[in-house]
Amino acid sequence: MPSLVPLVASVVLWKWLLNTDFGIVNQALRDLGVQNPPGWFSDRAWAIPSLISMRLWAGIGGTQMIIFLAGLQGIPESLYDAAAIDGANAWQRMRHVTIPLLTPTIFFNTVLGIIGALQTFAAAFVATEGGPGFATWFFSLHIWKHAFDYWNMGYAAALAWFFAIIIVGLTIFQMTLSKRWVFYYGE
């Protein structure tokens, strides 16, 4: 379900579910005896955890799970059979066959996840517009504000280039570190 619901629609749904006054979650918390349920998107301390939980819900079963499934299907069955013949139990087959052969998939999803997390915009814009008190003021929202609210396109373009360089730098750093732990079958 999360991968079928567009991002803006899911943010609106979560804003309704986590509404301080009439949200279903706070009503359930009140029914359980919680006197002062969290303010979720209206409370500075709860704004980021609310966005994180919303994005985790959206990420489960999405593209990353399809990539993991493809990675699992790419592991040859003969390796599991050979490990079983050698006496490996299920845990040992997972530890010594599945996880090492999934490391390229784990690495790929990690790179995409970090790039996606850095580019957080739509959820923060629709849910809080950077508030309360700049608690959800992400860099991409900062770029957008300068470009389309203040019409300072040159500064926004410079910020975007800086952001792109940061993302490329982090990706190169991850690729350098991956040489230590990513195993490519057949090498």
What per-residue confidence (pLDDT) applies to 187? 65
Domain assignment present for 61: yes
Domain assignment present for 169: yes
Decide if 160 contacts 172 (C-beta within 8 A). Answer: no
Decide if 79 contacts 88 (C-beta within 8 A). Answer: no
Q: Which domain holds residue 152?
A: 7-181
What per-residue confidence (pLDDT) applies to 6? 81
Domain assignment present for 37: yes
Decide if 59 contacts 96 (C-beta within 8 A). Answer: no
Tell me the C-alpha distance between 25 and 19, whole Å: 8
Domain count, the chain: 1
What per-residue confidence (pLDDT) applies to 176? 94
Indicate the average pLDDT of the chain: 90
Joined together, the tokens standing for residue 160 give: 């975007």
Q: Domain containing 21 — which CATH number?
A: 1.10.3720.10
Domain assignment present for 1: no
What per-residue confidence (pLDDT) applies to 3? 58
pLDDT (average), residues 109-120: 88
pLDDT (average), residues 167-181: 93
Domain assignment present for 113: yes
Domain assignment present for 187: no
pLDDT tens sequence across 25-69? 999 999 999 988 998 998 999 999 998 888 888 777 678 888 999
pLDDT band at 156 (very low <50, low <70, confident <90, very high): very high
What per-residue confidence (pLDDT) applies to 133? 86
pLDDT band at 123 (very low <50, low <70, confident <90, very high): confident
What per-residue confidence (pLDDT) applies to 18? 92
More confident residue, 58 or 70: 70
Decide if 80 contacts 93 (C-beta within 8 A). Answer: yes
Domain assignment present for 65: yes
Q: Is the peptide bond before 76 cis (omega within 30 degrees of 0)?
A: no
Domain assignment present for 2: no
pLDDT (average), residues 84-99: 96
pLDDT (average), residues 154-178: 95
- Return the residue matching tokens 């399809």: 66
